[in-house]
Amino acid sequence: MKIPSTSYSYRTPRRIRGIKIKNPGSPFNDLSVEYDAWFDKEGRLVYFIEVQAFKSLLQTLPKPWLEIGVGSGRFAQALGIGTGVDPSIKLVKMARRRGIAAFAGQGEQEPFDEESFGTAFLIVTLCFLDSPLEVLKEAKRILMPGGKLVLGLVLKESPWGQFYQAKKAEGHRFYKFATFYSFGEVVRIIEQAGFSTGKIISTLFQSPERVHHTEEPREGYFPDAGFTIIMASPVESRG
């Protein structure tokens, strides 16, 4: 399938190293249609709330943009992220149909060129990575000077994190592959990868399965927020 062009230039990757997702063939391939349908069904309002939170940051983020773990391209399309990578070929095809320059990447693979992107997004992706630290280090390598890392997270201590951890314990088809991290754990991984944390946005304060109205995002970290966005900047190495 021809990869669609985007509104800005980007470097085609040879392959992507370090973006290794737990059991990449399942469920993200086998249940790709069910995964994507969630955004139009029970997850529709949750998805809208999360997108609105990201939109509050977009003007501050340098381009071009890359989403690592682009999935079916829902967030990339809504936010104007032109390029994405994901290990599920079925989800990559869906993302391409949504106009994203999406590439299939899995296992041990070569990277994008150094300093290729202004911002790298990982949206509900960190919890599915085998080696989150290595992926964030790779994200730093491909960011241009002054670039940004943006993480969208369901934190372990939040009501939504506890809800999904209960589903994981029950063997849920998606969440059984996930590892949820606390805010402190995520900050440590970010710092170990060579970033410093910056602006934090929280949203989704309604309880799981009881989301009935839209919300305005709040700046800062709140343990009772179901969705947290952390923006980080590479720490310049001192020669």
Going from N- to C-terminal start, the domains of the chain cover: 32-234
Q: Are 161 and 155 in contact (CB under 8 A)?
A: yes
Enter the tokens of residue 99: 């106009």
Select from 63, 60, 97 the least CA-distant residue to 77.
97
Query: How large is the C-alpha radius of gyration of the chain?
Result: 17
pLDDT at 22: 45
pLDDT at 12: 41
Q: Cα(19)–Cα(223) distance, rounded to whole angstroms?
A: 28
Enter the tokens of residue 14: 């040879």
Indicate whether this model's pTM tops 0.85.
yes
pLDDT digits (tens, 9 = 90+) for 38-50: 999 999 999 999 9
User: Does residue 14 carry a pLDDT above 70?
Assistant: no
pLDDT digits (tens, 9 = 90+) for 70-113: 999 999 999 999 999 998 899 999 999 999 999 987 433 545 88
User: Does residue 17 carry a pLDDT above 80?
Assistant: no
Enter the tokens of residue 90: 């079925």
pLDDT digits (tens, 9 = 90+) for 109-139: 545 889 999 999 999 999 999 889 999 999 9
Number of C-beta neighbours around residue 85 at 10 A: 23
User: Does residue 7 carry a pLDDT above 80?
Assistant: no
Query: How many CA atoms does the CB half-sphere of 224 hold within 13 Å?
Result: 3
Enter the tokens of residue 28: 């993200």
Q: Cα(156)–Cα(167) distance, rounded to whole angstroms?
A: 13
Range with the poorest average pLDDT among 70-74, 184-188, 235-239? 235-239
Range with the poorest average pLDDT among 1-5, 66-70, 228-232? 1-5
pLDDT at 8: 29
**Local confidence band at 13 (pLDDT 50, 70, 90 cut-offs):** very low
Q: Cα(48)–Cα(58) distance, rounded to whole angstroms?
A: 15
Range with the poorest average pLDDT among 84-93, 197-206, 219-228? 84-93
pLDDT at 18: 46
Pick the CATH number of 32-234 from 3.20.20.450, 3.40.50.150, 3.90.550.10, 3.90.1300.10: 3.40.50.150
What are the helix (H) ranges across 56-173? 74-79, 89-97, 132-142, 159-169
Alpha carbon of residue 23 to chain centroid: 17
On average, the pLDDT of the chain sits at 87
pLDDT at 130: 87
Burial of residue 73 (CB within 10 Å: 0-12, 13-18, 19+) is buried
